[in-house]
Amino acid sequence: MVSHHARSLAVDVPVSGTAPRRVWPRFLTSEHPFPWLAPITALILAFGVYPLLYALWLSFFKRNPITRMNVFNPTWNWGKLIGDERVWGAIGHTYLYTITALSIELCLGLAIALLLDSDRKGYGLLRALMTLPLVVPPAVTGMMFLLMLDGSFGVLSTGLVSLGLWPPQHPILASSGSALAGVLLADIWQWTPFMVLIMLAGLRALPKEPFEAAAIDGATPAQAFFRLTLPMLSRIIALAVLIRGVDLFRIYDYVKVMTDSGPGTATETLTSYAGTIYFKNADFPYASTISLFTLLLVIITSSLFIKLFKVRF
Amino acid sequence: MSFKKFDQQTFIVDSANAYTNRQISKREFLRRMGLAGVGFSAFSLGMLGNPRGLRRGSMLGTEAFADGLPDNQAKWLKEVGSKFKGAKIRYSTESTPPSVVLNQIKKEFTDPTGIEVEVEIVPLEQVLAKATQDVQGQLGSYDLYYLDQSWISMFQPDCIDPVAYYKEKPELAMPDFDWDDFSKPLVQNIAQVEGKWMGIPFDIPIFTLMYRKDILEKHKIAVPTTYEDFLAAARQITEAEKGNGVFGTGLQAKSGHYSLECDWSQAVWGHGGSIFNKNKKFSGNDEQGIAGLKWYQDLLKVSPPNSTASTWDGQFEMMHSGQVALVQSWDEFFPGLDADDSKVKGLWEPAKPLTAKKLRSPSDAGFNEQPNLGHQGGSCISLSKYSKNKEAAWIFMQWGCCKEIMTRCTLLGGFAPMRNSSFADPRVKAKAKVGPGTTRHLETVKWVIDNAMATEPHMALWAGLSTNEIPTELGKLLTGQAYDGDPKKCMDALAKDIDAKVKDAGLL
């Protein structure tokens, strides 16, 4: 099948006695993979490989704040990173954030998917409504929750305080003990529907026979869930955890908009710390090193997960 | 692909199935989900209401004061500027009142000259990152830089001395520009490093005292003049008015934000301390520094809890909404407090900043730091050495900083001017009454500029220290994340970190 644009490139060549024969430009009829892969390869090289190599190259330089020159010193930034307490704090926050959000989103996602897994009237609309948070840009979501959690006029804060569930002298996003929970709230609101959709797809793809057999054998719904549904969904769950986990590890938008890594460093993650070093201290080599380190952690954690849970694609 | 062609239920489930079977990409999956939900999301976004506007900017550009340039300057602009017709100059700046006004009236420059001006207004930290990248690569992407006073020494090698350039290029020099008209303290503290002009002063937010006269009268409290008086008054008002939702004061104490560093440094100076001592060692942990920080911690206890999540915007909101009664902060807030949409129109009064028992002498401070009563957050506009349109940018810079345009910027926004003649301008004086864009605070501001202006250290590391290390550690202390409320522990940790960085940078 060719696209509309490609079709317009074809030329009708008149052939005597027959209908005109359509001749395509050669590059559009190639059976060699190169012309088809070239555009995407170029994009990956330009926007993926080159920035990665540039960041790696940059990480081997020490920035002189006086001359602003980068001086070759391959171990400086990596040594600094190991001795930087804020990096270790950020690693802790990143893992805490990722594991907490992932657990809640997964459990909620599965629970809601089970509720929505029905062909009855109105359920389609409910499933459609579930997707709404996904179409809101994360920065906008962050701003929404920033306003809703504002200690002076935020609707959520005011509600919690009015119900006596939260002390008014400790605004959620301005207190080191609760700020991360405030940021997590935005993430969970926005990304639980993603889990719901994945789980729904998985549930709908399950064969009916084992469930019918279990029902005949007198299995309770709980038994059916733990002994049939969960094991049969395990591949889908592993895939969802992997995709969402990598996303969560790169968390930046909500933290930047809602707390700017604060109060103190209570919500500072690896990516937000890299952003701080880049934008505020203008130390581009060190910021690149932190970013590369984040990438390394993502690769190691994902690989461990794939190995431990025997994820197969 | 039309959504109508699909049954809604089948569409979403099929898409999710296709995604889990890796038949479509994540991007395509989200696009399809967006297609399904976009109508609802538009509705939900609409229900969120209007975003908060920039209140200080809301009264800008509402009145026309276009008397026009004097004839000789108008002629110069047309004749000299039109030689560079078609040139396009770029200027990256924070959203400061003069930048916003200049952006609004730039057409008056483009029309006679044919020079296009692109004013890129971005958050402060992005201005710094963009300017740093530009000078590091000597790219010339920006012809003019907005330089905050806290970064100025970092850009020392990258800016053209405007006074020298004015003399070197008489064919481009605006007639009657009058360099002597610029306020001398502003030139020295905002636009010069080691006696060299880095640019032209462009913006001067500065600390003054502001108070609600009705609340002070109600509680029979005199306008505070000392740090002790201020704390006592704030305590008294909070105790009496907290039930009504009114606090004695409000702070811009957001962790990790430059605003917190500004509040803290003023508290340190006001208690006789400085950020660096004459040996260029961090001195926030000396006796005076600790006294200043303790005072600030006490003040925080009588402020709205949201103070630790507020920058200058949040602090302005507290004042504008009638939540606080006393504030020592940026004078730029004042015109907005008299705006028509203000709940406290005409109720705030300006006063001189709090006096210190003893100020540390600048010679006992490091890196040209000037401890004093009024923290300034000024900026200058500078001509890039790497600009590819130097002449055109230079003409724009002179136009933007000439007497008439600078005075008009003040008239449109009510903020402090850079030129003595603007302060004395009858049009500016005529607006010294309650109303939008008022200039009734400028007399106090002029006094602070001329007599009590404080300036942070001028050193290459300061941009990072003032926006990252210092406010982050302060945030940890003030929000209880670390140091158990002990200011000495916090300042000692900061001293260790900063002294090491200063030493490593070769600044000792």
Contact of A136 with chain B, judged by CB distance below 8 Å, is answered with: yes
CA pair distance B172, B81, nearest whole angstrom: 8
Q: What percent of chain A is modeled with pLDDT above 70?
A: 93
| pLDDT bracket for residue A256 (50, 70, 90) | very high
Contact of A187 with chain B, judged by CB distance below 8 Å, is answered with: no
- Stretch A106-128: mean pLDDT: 92
CA pair distance B55, B64, nearest whole angstrom: 19
Contact of A247 with chain B, judged by CB distance below 8 Å, is answered with: no
Distance between terminal CA atoms of chain B? Answer: 66
Question: By the 8 A CB rule, do B275 and B365 touch?
Answer: yes
More confident residue, A182 or B64: A182
| pLDDT bracket for residue A119 (50, 70, 90) | confident
CB contact under 8 A, B468 and A197: no
Of the residues A84, A136, A152, the best mutation for testing chain B's interface (the one with the most B CB atoms within 10 Å of its CB) is: A152
In angstroms, the Cα distances linking B103 to B82, B91, B106 are 20, 10, 5
Residue A215, min C-alpha distance to chain B (Å): 26
- Stretch A263-267: mean pLDDT: 94
Residue B494, min C-alpha distance to chain A (Å): 13
CB contact under 8 A, A282 and B463: yes
Candidate from A129, A204, A239 with C-beta closest to B13: A204
**Overall pTM > 0.80:** yes
CB contact under 8 A, B12 and A281: no
Residue B319, min C-alpha distance to chain A (Å): 13
Candidate from A65, A136, A174 with C-beta closest to B305: A174
CA pair distance A218, A202, nearest whole angstrom: 24
Contact of A64 with chain B, judged by CB distance below 8 Å, is answered with: yes
Residues on chain A touching B482 (C-beta within 8 angstroms): 264
Residues on chain A touching B6 (C-beta within 8 angstroms): none
Residues on chain A touching B13 (C-beta within 8 angstroms): 127, 200-201, 204
pLDDT below 70 — which residues of chain B? 1-67
Query: Is the ipTM, as predicted for this complex, more than 0.85?
Result: no
- What is residue A17's predicted lDDT score, i.e. its pLDDT? 62
CA pair distance A113, A62, nearest whole angstrom: 51
pLDDT tens for each residue of A43-98: 999 999 999 999 999 999 999 888 888 999 999 999 999 999 999 999 999 999 99
- What is residue A115's predicted lDDT score, i.e. its pLDDT? 94
Candidate from A173, A200, A279 with C-beta closest to B126: A279
As beta bridge partners, residue B146 has: B381
Question: By the 8 A CB rule, do B456 and B263 touch?
Answer: no
- What is residue B397's predicted lDDT score, i.e. its pLDDT? 96
- What is residue B16's predicted lDDT score, i.e. its pLDDT? 56
Residue A217's identity, in one-letter code, is D
Residue B361, min C-alpha distance to chain A (Å): 26
- What is residue A30's predicted lDDT score, i.e. its pLDDT? 79
Q: Enumerate domains of chain B plus CATH numbers.
A: 3-36 (no CATH), 71-205+377-424 (3.40.190.10), 207-375+459-504 (3.40.190.10)
CB contact under 8 A, A66 and B128: no
Quote the longest CA-to-CA distance of chain B: 78
CB contact under 8 A, A174 and B13: no
Contact of A202 with chain B, judged by CB distance below 8 Å, is answered with: yes
As beta bridge partners, residue B159 has: B384
- Residue whose token pair is 């303290």: B185
Of the residues A121, A131, A258, the best mutation for testing chain B's interface (the one with the most B CB atoms within 10 Å of its CB) is: A131
C-alpha A288: how far from chain center: 20
CA pair distance B325, B210, nearest whole angstrom: 8
Contact of A40 with chain B, judged by CB distance below 8 Å, is answered with: no
- What is residue B156's predicted lDDT score, i.e. its pLDDT? 85
In angstroms, the Cα distances linking A167 to A151, A173, A178, B495 are 10, 13, 12, 34
Closest CA in chain B for residue A273: B468
CA pair distance A133, A127, nearest whole angstrom: 12
Closest CA in chain B for residue A258: B309
Residue B216, min C-alpha distance to chain A (Å): 23
Count contacts between A and B (CB, < 8 Å). Answer: 177
Candidate from B16, B20, B40 with C-beta closest to A132: B40
- What is residue B40's predicted lDDT score, i.e. its pLDDT? 37
CB contact under 8 A, A144 and B472: no
Residues on chain B touching A173 (C-beta within 8 angstroms): 309
Question: By the 8 A CB rule, do B308 and B254 touch?
Answer: yes
Closest CA in chain B for residue A206: B17
B358 burial via Cβ count (<10 Å: 0-12, 13-18, 19+): exposed
Residues on chain B touching A264 (C-beta within 8 angstroms): 255-256, 472-473, 475-477, 479, 481-482
Q: Enumerate domains of chain A plus CATH numbers.
A: 1-29 (no CATH), 86-308 (1.10.3720.10)
pLDDT tens for each residue of A213-242: 999 999 999 999 999 999 999 989 999 999
CA pair distance B151, B159, nearest whole angstrom: 13
Residues on chain A touching B309 (C-beta within 8 angstroms): 150-151, 171, 173-174, 263
- What is residue B442's predicted lDDT score, i.e. its pLDDT? 95
Please count the other Cβ atoms lying within 10 Å of the Cβ belonging to residue A265. 25
